[in-house]
Structure 1
Amino acid sequence: MPAAPEEPLDAPDEYAAEVLGLVRRIPSGRAMTYGLVAEIVGEKLGRGGPRQVGNVMAGSGDRYAHLVPDGAVVIGPVQDDHAVPWWRVVNASGAPPARHVTAALDALRAEGCPLSRDGRRVDLRRAVWFPQDDGGVEGRRDDRVV
C-alpha cells in the first residue's frame, strides 16, 4: 500500500524547513551568514530575513526538530548528536551566536574553518559557502559576503 501523502507545512514550518535544509548542506569547515541564508531562502519562498533565520536556528534542536529527517547526522568532526550544524551560521561580521560562542568556535576550529587572527570570528572571505543552483554541490567563492 502506498504511503499516505504528507500534510503540507504551514508557512512558519515551510520557512524553517528550507532554512534547516540549507544549513544542513553547509560543508564542514565552511560557514554562511544569517543574511546569506535568508537571501537564498527568500529567493525561493519570497519571505524572511536574517532575524527569522536566527529564530529558526535557535529552535533547531527542539521547536523545529520534527522538520529534520530521522537519523540525520552532521558531516564533519563535530557530530555530537547534532542534526543541524548550527555553529556554521554566523552574523555578518563572522561572529557565532553570543550565547554559544565558545562551543561554536570550538566546533569551527575542529572542522578547520578559517578564523580571524584573534580567533573570535569566522574569516568569511575564506570560509563563506555559496550553494550552487544545481542542487548544492560545494559552492562557489566570490567577493560577496552577506
Structure 2
Amino acid sequence: MTPEEYVERVLNLVESIPEGRVMSYGAIADALAEVSGRNSPRQVGTIMARHGGGVPWHRVVNSSGRLPPGHEQEARARLLSEGVPMTGDRVRIRKAGWQPDGEGPAQ
C-alpha cells in the first residue's frame, strides 16, 4: 500500500465513525494494520492534522480520551452535540469508543 493509499484508508475509516462515537489514533492504526502493514498512531495523527479537515476529525481522540490538540473547544462542542459521554474535557472512551467490526468499544 502506498502512503497515499494509506492516507485515503485512514480518512475513509474516520468518515465511517458513527455520530456519537469516537476512535483513538491507535485504534485506527490497529484497524488498518493488517491491510496496510503499518501500525503507528503518530502517523494517523499526522494524517489527521494534514488531511483531516474534510472528515469528522472531532471523532478522533487519543487513547485516554483527550481531544485533538489545538482544537479542544470546537471538538468538545461537536462531541457534546452528538451526545458523546464526557468527563471534564475527556471522552469516556469505554462508552463512546467504536470499532469498524462493531464488536465493543475501541480503545
Aligned to 2:74: 103
What is the Cα-based RMSD across aligned positions, in Å?
Answer: 1.5
- 1:51 and 2:47 correspond: no
Identical pairs, percent: 46
TM-score normalised by L of structure 1: 0.69
- Which structure 2 segments of 5+ residues have no match? none
Residue 25 of structure 1 corresponds to 16
Q: Following superposition, which runs of at least 4 residues in structure 1 exceed 3 angstroms of deviation?
A: none
TM-superposed deviation, 1:45 = 0.9
Could you say which structure has the larger radius of gyration? 1
> Quick check: which one's helix share is greater?
2
Paired position in structure 2 for 1:141: 104
The number of equivalent residue pairs is 107
Q: Which runs of 5+ in 1 are unaligned?
A: 1-9, 62-81, 133-138
1:1-146 aligned within 5 A: 11-61=2-52, 83-116=54-87, 118=88, 120-132=89-101, 139-141=102-104, 145-146=106-107
